[in-house]
């Protein structure tokens, strides 16, 4: 008896118990953040469940409670969902999702602007309050300087009244806006949100990250950054549409104060001098009120409200750095939606992540609705059944002739088990980690040789391969790359789904190590080297590079228009910063220039290496 047969016998019960793949949607639990409910996901839930084979759940948890309690609430509601369940959390909801993974395995966690490293606003809460109280103090001080209406330029009070109202309103709304955001120092989760809290330290400690890596195969953090992060102050967060108007009002108010202060300071009246001084200070406070919101939400240091304070890029509530998923993959989205708009305004990003990163197939495309893209322990393909790759470009079919075949979208065979002519039974992902094709007699016709890896699962990838992935996320076996992906040069980029073209990477196309895209005259090649560096070579040697050595992953012309070099861990190492242009393409020209074009034909980026 062969070792394989012994393994098959030993796990006979599992094989007997194998259930065929059901046309079942993948559970996705959309979790909300502070001051919100499950209703915040209504639109996104409808869209995602229309576009993807997902079964959406929108729980409402008590967002003021500690993370552990919120996770318990999730577990009590959705503990029965299967192990492929994806938890997608916005803001604090992402941290709750990570906490939930302690209670049960998850197929993936996607976080949308979540404070993995804590929320600096919790650290700076009282500094921010004090700043606003100081604003009241200046307004009061200035008002008091008009205590005797007969002295000096008393009439100036009427002139600057509008500026005083704006300052008064800004101070008031600087405080009230906190409750609008759900930030309240008295709520139990508040202390946990501090960047220095024991909870945050434990959440990101190596043992917890190792646990997450072993129980949650896909961990993705979406980092959102708005343009002009420091403009509009707190109003950018609580009323994004009105922020430009408020920014203008603050400028008008402060400049009005400055000019009138200069005017009355020239009267020589000592009381006017005092008033002028208050007016200059108030104008400065107005500017600081706008700028210091950025420090308040992004600088966790003790210096945030000193001259050494820093403003970090942010999504109006959280800085970029805390949104990165420790131990997972982080995706940076620039010019993104402000924090309070993200659950409604980022459907395309969520679609992209769920489909390409989590392998959830599109609904209504690629055959069977809800076809899975993976086989987990105990799942099998029966004769006539098939799997589809996340992008729908490849399908793995267990044919009635006994052969298990991986087809490209156009019917070209990428790979097969060469088991045609055998009687059929099933292609099964065994609980011992081995992926096996059995014939009718129960004899293994082919196997991946991956036994001894309990908890492993089989994935069908966009690259035209199938992989067996261990429970820790490591690829322990993979079918060979299809021929069109192996040879560097013309057509590079097929694996990600872009249409092959000699000199062009279309949306979705990737370059893997060793692959290149070349100019039509073959003189220039944009090569993704095995050392991770993306280099443009010309007849006289290298002309440009991304300087991304080490841990090669791939370079992708993303569907969002951004051309990004990723490390093997999924961490973006370099990007063209051209996101926001759907269906853009990258072209290597015969003059040595590499250009990204929008779908309208406009140049959005280039290496500036042409013509020489």
Partner 1 sequence: MRARVAVLVASLAAAPVSWPAAADGLPQLRTSPSREPGPTVPDLTSRTPGIAPDPSWDTFSADVTIRRRMVKRDGTPGPDAPEMRYRWVRTLGDTGWKTTMTVLSVAPRAVVTAQGARLVPANAPMSRIEIGDARTPTRIYDAAGQLLFMLPSQPRPAVDADPLTALLAGLRRGSATNVRPMDAIDAVGLTAPLDTTDRSRDPRSRQWIEHILPNIAGRADRRGALTRRLGAPQGTVRGLERYVTASSDATTEVLTDPSWSVPVEINVAREGRLVSHSAVSYQEDPGAGLVRRRIRSEQLMSVESGDRASADVEFTNIRLDRGGVR
46 versus 133: smaller Cβ distance to partner 1: 133
Site for partner 1 contains 489 (CB under 8 A)? no
**Least distance to partner 1, CB of residue 584, Å:** 21
Structure tokens given for 152: 């000096």
Member of 251, 409, 420, 484 binding partner 1 (CB under 8 A): 251
- The candidate with the shortest Cα–Cα distance to 60, out of 30, 28, 86, is 30
**For 352, phi and psi rounded to 5 degrees?**
-60, -45
18 versus 226: smaller Cβ distance to partner 1: 226
- The candidate with the shortest Cα–Cα distance to 28, out of 315, 388, 370, 459, is 370
- Are β-strands 552-557 and 510-511 bridged in parallel, bridged antiparallel, or unpaired? antiparallel
Site for partner 1 contains 375 (CB under 8 A)? no
Q: Which stretch binds partner 1 (CB under 8 A): 89-97, 147-155, 197-205, 436-444?
A: 147-155
**Least distance to partner 1, CB of residue 151, Å:** 8
Site for partner 1 contains 565 (CB under 8 A)? no
**Least distance to partner 1, CB of residue 182, Å:** 15
Structure tokens given for 106: 């998850």
Site for partner 1 contains 148 (CB under 8 A)? yes
Q: Rounded distance, CA 105 to CA 97, Å? A: 11
45 versus 177: smaller Cβ distance to partner 1: 177
- Contact partners, residue 419, CB within 8 Å, separation at least 6: 402, 403, 404, 437, 439, 445, 446
By CB under 8 A, how many residues form the interface with partner 1? 97
C-alpha 338 chain-centroid distance: 14
Site string for partner 1, 309-348 (x = CB under 8 A): xxxxx------xx----------x----------------
Name the residue with tokens 């210091």: 292
Which residues inside 172-201 make contact with partner 1, applying CB under 8 A? Answer: 172-173, 176-177, 180
**Least distance to partner 1, CB of residue 142, Å:** 8
The Cβ-side half-sphere exposure at 559, using a 13 Å CA radius, reads 14
**Least distance to partner 1, CB of residue 261, Å:** 8
Site for partner 1 contains 546 (CB under 8 A)? no
Answer for the pair 545, 524: CB distance below 8 angstroms, yes or no: no
Member of 164, 375, 458, 466 binding partner 1 (CB under 8 A): 164
312 versus 394: smaller Cβ distance to partner 1: 312
**Least distance to partner 1, CB of residue 230, Å:** 6
Q: Which stretch binds partner 1 (CB under 8 A): 2-10, 111-119, 145-153, 484-492?
A: 145-153
**Least distance to partner 1, CB of residue 554, Å:** 20
Site for partner 1 contains 569 (CB under 8 A)? no
Site for partner 1 contains 409 (CB under 8 A)? no
Member of 65, 287, 341, 523 binding partner 1 (CB under 8 A): 287
- The candidate with the shortest Cα–Cα distance to 312, out of 119, 91, 521, is 119
**Least distance to partner 1, CB of residue 238, Å:** 8
Site for partner 1 contains 368 (CB under 8 A)? no
Cα angle, residue 192 at apex, residues 188 and 194 outer, rounded to 5°: 125
235 versus 438: smaller Cβ distance to partner 1: 235
CA dist list (Å): 105 to 76, 81, 212, 422, 499: 14, 10, 9, 37, 37
Structure tokens given for 323: 């949104």
CB-CB neighbours of 57 under 10 Å: 19
- Cross-strand partners of 218: 108
- The candidate with the shortest Cα–Cα distance to 544, out of 590, 586, 503, 594, is 594
Which residues inside 209-238 make contact with partner 1, applying CB under 8 A? Answer: 223, 225, 228-231, 235, 238
Member of 2, 147, 541, 611 binding partner 1 (CB under 8 A): 147
329 versus 505: smaller Cβ distance to partner 1: 329
**Least distance to partner 1, CB of residue 452, Å:** 41
**Least distance to partner 1, CB of residue 293, Å:** 11
SS3 525: strand
Please spell the DSSP secondary structure of 415-433, one letter per residue.
EE---TTS---EEEE-TTS
Count how many residues are written for the chain: 612
- The candidate with the shortest Cα–Cα distance to 175, out of 125, 214, 226, 222, is 125
SS3 180: helix
Q: Which stretch binds partner 1 (CB under 8 A): 15-23, 281-289, 371-379, 594-602?
A: 281-289
295 versus 434: smaller Cβ distance to partner 1: 295
169 versus 580: smaller Cβ distance to partner 1: 169
CA dist list (Å): 59 to 36, 82, 309: 11, 17, 38
Site for partner 1 contains 69 (CB under 8 A)? no
24 versus 263: smaller Cβ distance to partner 1: 263
Member of 4, 239, 382, 443 binding partner 1 (CB under 8 A): 239
**Least distance to partner 1, CB of residue 152, Å:** 9
263 versus 344: smaller Cβ distance to partner 1: 263
Site for partner 1 contains 301 (CB under 8 A)? no
Q: Rounded distance, CA 509 to CA 504, Å? A: 9
SS3 157: helix
Answer for the pair 280, 261: CB distance below 8 angstroms, yes or no: yes
CB-CB neighbours of 304 under 10 Å: 23
Site for partner 1 contains 258 (CB under 8 A)? yes
Q: Which stretch binds partner 1 (CB under 8 A): 15-23, 100-108, 275-283, 371-379?
A: 275-283
Q: Which value, in Å, is the radius of gyration of the alpha carbons in the chain? A: 29
Site for partner 1 contains 408 (CB under 8 A)? no
Member of 37, 82, 306, 487 binding partner 1 (CB under 8 A): 306
Q: Rounded distance, CA 569 to CA 566, Å? A: 8
Site for partner 1 contains 134 (CB under 8 A)? yes
Structure tokens given for 317: 């509530």
Site for partner 1 contains 106 (CB under 8 A)? no
313 versus 556: smaller Cβ distance to partner 1: 313
Structure tokens given for 248: 């203008």
Answer for the pair 585, 557: CB distance below 8 angstroms, yes or no: yes
Site for partner 1 contains 162 (CB under 8 A)? yes
Q: Which stretch binds partner 1 (CB under 8 A): 273-281, 380-388, 515-523, 595-603?
A: 273-281
């Amino acid at each position: 008896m062969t070792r394989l047969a012994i393994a098959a016998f030993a796990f006979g019960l599992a094989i007997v118990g194998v259930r065929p793949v059901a046309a079942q949607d993948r559970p996705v639990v959309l979790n909300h953040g502070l001051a919100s409910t499950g209703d915040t996901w209504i639109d996104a839930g409808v869209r995602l469940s229309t576009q993807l084979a997902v079964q959406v759940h929108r729980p409402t948890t008590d967002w003021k409670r500690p993370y552990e309690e919120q996770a318990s609430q999730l577990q009590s509601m959705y503990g029965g969902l299967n192990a492929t369940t994806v938890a997608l959390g916005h803001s604090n909801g992402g941290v709750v999702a990570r906490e939930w993974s302690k209670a049960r395995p998850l197929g993936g966690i996607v976080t949308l602007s979540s404070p993995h490293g804590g929320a600096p606003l919790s650290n700076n809460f009282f500094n921010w309050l004090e700043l606003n109280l100081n604003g009241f103090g200046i307004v009061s001080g200035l008002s008091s300087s008009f205590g005797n209406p007969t002295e000096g330029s008393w009439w100036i009070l009427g002139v600057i009244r509008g500026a005083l109202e704006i300052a008064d309103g800004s101070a008031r709304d600087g405080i009230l806006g906190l409750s609008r955001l759900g930030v309240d120092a008295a709520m139990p989760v508040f202390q946990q949100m501090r960047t220095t809290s024991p909870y945050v330290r434990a959440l990101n400690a190596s043992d917890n990250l190792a646990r997450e890596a072993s129980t949650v195969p896909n961990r993705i953090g979406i980092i959102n950054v708005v343009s002009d992060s420091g403009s509009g102050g707190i109003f950018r967060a609580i009323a994004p549409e009105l922020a430009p108007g408020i920014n203008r009002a603050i400028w008008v108010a402060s400049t009005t104060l400055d000019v009138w202060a200069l005017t009355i300071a020239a009267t020589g009246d000592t009381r006017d001098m005092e008033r002028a001084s208050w007016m200059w200070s108030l104008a400065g406070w107005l500017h600081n009120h706008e700028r210091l919101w950025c420090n308040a939400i992004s600088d966790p240091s003790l210096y945030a409200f000193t001259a050494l304070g820093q403003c970090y890029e942010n999504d109006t509530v959280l800085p970029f750095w805390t949104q990165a998923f420790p131990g997972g993959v982080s995706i940076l989205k620039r010019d993104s939606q402000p924090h309070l708009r993200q659950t409604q305004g980022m459907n395309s990003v969520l679609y992209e992540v769920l489909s390409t990163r989590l392998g959830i197939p599109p609904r209504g495309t690629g055959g069977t609705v809800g076809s899975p893209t993976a086989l987990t322990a105990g799942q099998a393909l029966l004769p006539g059944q098939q799997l589809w790759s996340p992008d729908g470009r490849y399908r793995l079919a267990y044919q009635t002739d006994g052969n298990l075949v991986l087809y490209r979208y156009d019917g070209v065979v990428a790979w097969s088990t060469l088991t045609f002519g055998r009687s059929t039974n099933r292609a099964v992902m065994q609980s011992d980690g081995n992926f096996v094709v059995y014939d009718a007699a129960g004899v293994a016709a082919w196997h991946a040789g991956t036994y001894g890896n309990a908890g492993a699962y089989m994935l069908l990838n966009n690259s035209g391969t199938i992989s067996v992935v261990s429970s820790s996320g490591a690829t322990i076996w993979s079918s060979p790359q299809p021929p069109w992906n192996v040879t560097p040069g013309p057509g590079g980029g097929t694996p990600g789904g872009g249409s092959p073209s000699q000199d062009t990477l279309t949306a979705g196309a990737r370059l893997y190590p060793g692959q290149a895209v070349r100019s039509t005259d073959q003189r220039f090649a944009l090569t993704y080297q095995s050392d991770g560096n993306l280099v443009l070579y010309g007849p006289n040697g290298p002309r440009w590079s991304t300087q991304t050595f080490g841990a090669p992953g791939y370079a992708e012309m993303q569907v969002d228009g951004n051309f990004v070099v990723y490390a093997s861990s999924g961490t973006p190492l370099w990007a063209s910063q051209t996101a926001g242009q759907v269906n853009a393409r990258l072209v290597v020209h015969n003059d040595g220039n590499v250009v990204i074009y929008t779908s309208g034909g406009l140049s959005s980026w280039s290496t500036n290496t042409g013509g020489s």
